[in-house]
Chains A and B, each alone.
Chain A
Amino acid sequence: MRTTTEQSNQGKVPLLLERTWNRGRRVVANPPMLLSILLLGVFVYLIIVPLISLVHSSVTLHSRDTLRVLGGKVGELTNFYFQRVFASNISEVLFYQPLLNTLLISFSMSALAISIGCILAWVVVRTDIPFKKLFASAAVVPFILPSWTISLAWMTIFKNRTVGGSAGILEYFGVQLPDWISYGPVPIIICMALHYYPFTYLLVGSALRDFDTRLEEAALVLGAKQSIIFRRVILAVVAPAILSSFILTISRGIGSFSTPVFLGNPINYRVLSTRMYASLQTGSPGDAYVIAIVMILLAILLMFLSNKVLGKRKSFVTITGKAPKPQLFKLKKLRIPVTIAVGLFLFCVIVVPLFVLAADTFMRVPGVYSLDNFTLHYWIGESTPGLVDGRPGILRNPSTWAALWNSVKLGISASALCGFFGILIGYTVVRMRGTRISTVLDQLSFIPYLIPSIAFGAIYLSLFAVRRGPIPSLYGSFLLLILATMAKNFPFAAKAGSSAMMQLGHEVEEAGIIAGAGWFTRMRRLILPLQRSGLLSAVMLPFISAMRELSMVVILTTPGTQLLTTLTFQYSDYGFLHMSNAVVLLLVVIIVIMQFILQKITGSDLSEGLGG
């Protein structure tokens, strides 16, 4: 028979050795464990090392600045850049003014966006307004479009001649426009608010939809006045949604690049992101890296605040139980005016910009809006000297096709990688749940979300600009774009992957373990086939966001790796607004189609893509 005491005969040391050896062997042969280590390596390489490199680059002397620092040598540790940004005679221009501008714009833009979003959400969800479905889906369109669509349209309409070039439509019709309408903070705030209000609209809208009307009715029964009900009951319940959309909006505002660059640069109105870009352009990467660090810290601070504030109050939104269908507020006499107002608003932020952009592309001489000025040149024209420096129309222009192809290539490769890693991250995080490594992986995958896109671009630039030991110089290569886009989208891919894994549960795989299937067989035959929809959203969201990303890639692309987004930016930089507009329209068409497909296939609504 068996002896249960066979172990006690052995000495302690051999036992320990045997245990360690056996355990070690199992850990090494344990796929989730191996994967965690592998993924940890990927994260360290794609997220941690770049971050460290950013900090490192901000405190080491660049070759260009060796003359400015007494006795400085390249690669030496220095506080030169920090000093220049924070405490020198150019700090004002380099940092403090842009910081103030950034804060001003972010706060006012958020306030405006939230007001619009709340009103729209309330009207669409809680009143008896007609065309609800149409309004509901139209309201989120501005967020789907590239963020600078509205700014380009604004320029096309409101431009004045201050900075030379052609006039806007209004000036053409004889309206004299002051600078503050054409450029600077006011148009930036408006255009950004019009792009970001869907955050609030979606979050507050769903809070209002889930909101238990019984609370409202209870207050009514108790004899509360309508105004008190609104303040004490509705507002209290919706407040967390408003707050979280405020933080979401404002942190986007801090990193936002394209709108300020289009509407602020012409009059030298700088925010942190455009200031950072300018520093990179003028060959002062050190300053740019310091500014990037500040932007990241600001974003982290906001996230921290939001966790502090929302952590406690979140439960308000998730009132469970079957709520009766909300009683719709009767607009009565106001029904028609409100409908018209909402319709007009949505018309102005969706149809008008696109129409204006489109119209502009058909005008041979910019700013002359008459029929004989009509041309298809900017779309399909052959190269004509004197018109946009002899460039052919965009559909005939090889650089358009090259950029389009690059964009698609980037989208496909980055999103395929994202899907791949998303599933692996999800699998590993869920399987290793409860262990420290799982928590670490989960948190690491979230980091890129905290970093404003343009700062993320700067991080990658700082790491890959030159060769560093085992890390090759990738600047100018397409691979760099893929890596950056992939890493930036890790949070969404990981989230999609782990929620799909969570839904699947562990028993489906365990049944396979019991049946004797090895890890690869389990993955191939049991898990992956059940992850299709998770995989799809882990792929599609990064694809769409890669297609319309500008601020991150703008500092990573080179003429050889031009994308559609950077192409529009470049055209507008040259002053070829028509070309820029035409490319944006092309982009809009592609994105809308992709979004449509995504929605059709996954049945998911846009709120999941809030980050994208």
Chain B
Amino acid sequence: MADIRLEKITKRWGDVVAVDDLDLTIEDGSFTCLLGPSGCGKTTTLRMVAGLEEPTAGRIYIGDKLIHCSERGISVGPHQRGVGLIFQSYALWPHMTVYQNIAFGLEMEKMNKATIETRVREAASWMQLEEYLHRYPSELSGGQQQRVALARSLAPQPDCLLMDEPLSNLDAKLRLDMRTELKRIHAMTNMTILYVTHDQLEAISMATVVAVMKDGRLQQLEDPLKLYKHPNNLFVANFVGSPPINVLHGNIFAEQGIWRVRTSDMVFSLQRNPEDDVQIKDGQNVVLAVRSEDIVLDDPSASFAMTIYSSLPTGSDTFVRLTRGDLAMMAKLYESDSLPVDSQVSVGFRPERVLLFDEDTGQRISLGSSLVGFTEATAS
């Protein structure tokens, strides 16, 4: 058992609150991504788990072992926690060869020479580093250095592997390669992996669980695909997904099981999702949010007219910018097409994909409603 549990973890530096009352459980054997914008406290969280930073308050468990408790002043040394850590800068020791880098941790565990040699070669072969064992880090490419860092952390066979944006220094192609590599390592070793990134695509494509953070607080802990479909709040909806989700501001009214959202010049009628279980107040400020791929053009059913501002074919699909008055949306079409500028199209939303959020609290109101009708707003 090597799950990681953070309970009410807070980290403060003077007035700066880097992590704020964080409760987070990282399941044994999961690949958990800590996702959030710059400065939200991801690195700090990771370093607290590793034992390089001491929380101001709270408790941390790895498996059954209490490794940190501020109340009782307990803090187990980093090495006793059985974690491996990969730094964003790799932190390879420049004066040691690849072999020596990988072997160092094993030497510290007082293994005998032969065991060390086997372990180093094993780790090196996983990472395809056999030919480079006698080179110095400065004689390796960025990708190779990254693999050395991985091999160095894997060689002592830790229960948990912590990684802090390990791929951010690589170019796009290498990054893709390494993602597949990391996913394979996870599958092979079944280690618990805590992976920090601010790249939502990376998180969604690799993780089994994603934890989204903002301002030191946990926003959502979710399966990556659900996260995309059912963001808990406006922040997560905005942060996850590219291009960013389309939003419309309006007021909501309930009428015979139908929600009507009135924006400046339109009224959307929404069939509420049966799973939604919320009370709304008439006239409440809401945000209606639709992902660009949930926008359908030339929709015969409930639809409304918009103007094509411009269209950007990417080869595989097309991004279309639509406008109507002061409203602008980005739609993603799954075909490559160049649409005539300034032409009118009728726009609809795919069923059960219209998200609603409380504008004031940012919390989700609807898991996904369907657009069932549309009228132009009359000045009332």
The residues of A with any CB-CB pair to B shorter than 8 Å are 2, 4, 7, 15, 18-23, 26, 434, 505, 507-508, 510-517, 521, 525-526, 529-530
Is B272's beta carbon under 8 Å from chain A?
Answer: no
Q: List 6 A-B pairs, minimum CB-CB distance, nearest first.
A: A22-B73, A19-B73, A515-B105, A507-B91, A516-B79, A516-B108
Contact yes or no, A508 B64, CB < 8 A: no
Main secondary structure of the interface of A (DSSP, over half): helix
Is B7's beta carbon under 8 Å from chain A?
Answer: yes
Measured between alpha carbons, how far is A528 from B91 in the docked complex, in Å? 16
A-facing residues in B64-83 (Cβ within 8 Å): 64, 66, 69-75, 78-79, 83
Given A507-B91, A511-B87, A516:B71 Cβ within 8 A: no
Contact yes or no, B91 A511, CB < 8 A: yes
Is B301's beta carbon under 8 Å from chain A?
Answer: no
Is B243's beta carbon under 8 Å from chain A?
Answer: no
Q: Which residues of B contact A4 (CB under 8 A)?
A: 7, 59
CB of B124, distance to nearest CB on chain A (Å): 17
Q: Which residues of B contact A513 (CB under 8 A)?
A: 51-52, 78-79
CB of A506, distance to nearest CB on chain B (Å): 9
Contact yes or no, B79 A15, CB < 8 A: no
* Most chain A C-beta atoms within 10 Å of own C-beta, residue among B71, B91, B153: B91
Can you list 22 A-B contacts (CB < 8 A)?
A2-B64, A4-B59, A15-B72, A18-B72, A20-B73, A21-B73, A22-B75, A23-B73, A507-B87, A507-B91, A508-B91, A510-B91, A511-B87, A511-B152, A512-B104, A514-B84, A515-B156, A516-B105, A521-B108, A525-B104, A526-B93, A530-B94
Q: Of A18, A515, A529, which contacts B73 at CB under 8 A? A: A18
The residues of B with any CB-CB pair to A shorter than 8 Å are 7, 13, 50-52, 59, 61, 64, 66, 69-75, 78-79, 83-85, 87, 89, 91-95, 104-105, 108-109, 152-153, 156
Q: Which residues of B contact A434 (CB under 8 A)?
A: 13
Name which residue of chain A comes closest to B64, CB basis.
A2
Contact yes or no, B74 A22, CB < 8 A: yes
Measured between alpha carbons, how far is A513 from B75 in the docked complex, in Å? 14
Contact yes or no, B95 A529, CB < 8 A: yes
Contact yes or no, B71 A511, CB < 8 A: no
Measured between alpha carbons, how far is A68 from B84 in the docked complex, in Å? 75
CB of A1, distance to nearest CB on chain B (Å): 9
Q: Which residues of B contact A510 (CB under 8 A)?
A: 52, 85, 87, 91
Contact yes or no, B72 A22, CB < 8 A: yes
Q: Of B52, B59, B71, B85, which contacts A19 at CB under 8 A? A: B71
Contact yes or no, A515 B104, CB < 8 A: yes
Name which residue of chain B comes closest to A26, CB basis.
B75
Given A7-B71, A20-B73, A21-B73, A511:B93 Cβ within 8 A: yes
Given contacts A19-B70, A22-B74, 7 further A-B contacts (CB under 8 A): A2-B64, A15-B72, A23-B73, A511-B85, A512-B93, A513-B79, A530-B93
Measured between alpha carbons, how far is A580 from B333 in the docked complex, in Å? 91
Contact yes or no, A517 B108, CB < 8 A: yes
Contact yes or no, A505 B89, CB < 8 A: yes
Name which residue of chain B comes closest to A18, CB basis.
B72
Name which residue of chain B comes closest to A10, CB basis.
B72
Q: Which residues of A contact B59 (CB under 8 A)?
A: 4
Q: Which residues of A contact B52 (CB under 8 A)?
A: 510, 513-514
Contact yes or no, A7 B72, CB < 8 A: yes
CB of B58, distance to nearest CB on chain A (Å): 11
Contact yes or no, B72 A516, CB < 8 A: no
CB of A502, distance to nearest CB on chain B (Å): 14
Name which residue of chain B comes closest to A6, CB basis.
B66
Name which residue of chain B comes closest to A505, CB basis.
B89
Name which residue of chain B comes closest to A525, CB basis.
B104
CB of B164, distance to nearest CB on chain A (Å): 10
Contact yes or no, A517 B91, CB < 8 A: no
Contact yes or no, A514 B85, CB < 8 A: yes
CB of A525, distance to nearest CB on chain B (Å): 8
Contact yes or no, B13 A514, CB < 8 A: no
Measured between alpha carbons, how far is A18 from B70 in the docked complex, in Å? 11
* Most chain A C-beta atoms within 10 Å of own C-beta, residue among B7, B78, B156: B78
Q: Of A505, A514, A521, A526, which contacts B78 at CB under 8 A? A: A514
CB of A24, distance to nearest CB on chain B (Å): 8
Q: Of B74, B75, B79, B93, which contacts A508 at CB under 8 A? A: B93
Contact yes or no, A514 B83, CB < 8 A: yes
Q: Of B69, B78, B104, B105, which contacts A7 at CB under 8 A? A: B69
Q: Which residues of B contact A512 (CB under 8 A)?
A: 93, 104
CB of A455, distance to nearest CB on chain B (Å): 38
Q: Which residues of B contact A516 (CB under 8 A)?
A: 79, 105, 108-109, 156
CB of B291, distance to nearest CB on chain A (Å): 38
Measured between alpha carbons, how far is A443 from B85 in the docked complex, in Å? 35
CB of B158, distance to nearest CB on chain A (Å): 9
CB of B93, distance to nearest CB on chain A (Å): 6
Name which residue of chain A comes closest to B66, CB basis.
A2
CB of A359, distance to nearest CB on chain B (Å): 51
* Most chain A C-beta atoms within 10 Å of own C-beta, residue among B83, B84, B104: B104
Q: Which residues of B contact A529 (CB under 8 A)?
A: 95
Q: Which residues of A contact B109 (CB under 8 A)?
A: 516
* Most chain A C-beta atoms within 10 Å of own C-beta, residue among B7, B51, B73, B74: B73
CB of B192, distance to nearest CB on chain A (Å): 16
Contact yes or no, A517 B72, CB < 8 A: no
Q: Which residues of A contact B51 (CB under 8 A)?
A: 513
Name which residue of chain B comes closest to A508, CB basis.
B91
Q: Which residues of A contact B89 (CB under 8 A)?
A: 505, 507
* Most chain B C-beta atoms within 10 Å of own C-beta, residue among A7, A18, A511, A515: A515
Q: Which residues of B contact A508 (CB under 8 A)?
A: 91, 93
Measured between alpha carbons, how far is A21 from B75 in the docked complex, in Å? 12
Q: Which residues of B contact A517 (CB under 8 A)?
A: 104, 108
Contact yes or no, B79 A514, CB < 8 A: yes
Q: Which residues of A contact B75 (CB under 8 A)?
A: 22, 26
Q: Which residues of B contact A526 (CB under 8 A)?
A: 93
Measured between alpha carbons, how far is A23 from B69 in the docked complex, in Å? 11
Measured between alpha carbons, how far is A511 from B164 in the docked complex, in Å? 13
Q: Which residues of A contact B152 (CB under 8 A)?
A: 511, 515
Q: Which residues of B contact A7 (CB under 8 A)?
A: 69, 71-72
Q: Which residues of A contact B69 (CB under 8 A)?
A: 7
Measured between alpha carbons, how far is A379 from B89 in the docked complex, in Å? 60
CB of A569, distance to nearest CB on chain B (Å): 45
Contact yes or no, B93 A19, CB < 8 A: no
CB of A480, distance to nearest CB on chain B (Å): 38
Q: Which residues of A contact B153 (CB under 8 A)?
A: 514
Measured between alpha carbons, how far is A2 from B109 in the docked complex, in Å? 29
CB of A8, distance to nearest CB on chain B (Å): 9
CB of B7, distance to nearest CB on chain A (Å): 6
Q: Which residues of B contact A26 (CB under 8 A)?
A: 73, 75
CB of B98, distance to nearest CB on chain A (Å): 14
Contact yes or no, B91 A19, CB < 8 A: no
Contact yes or no, B79 A515, CB < 8 A: yes
CB of A43, distance to nearest CB on chain B (Å): 25
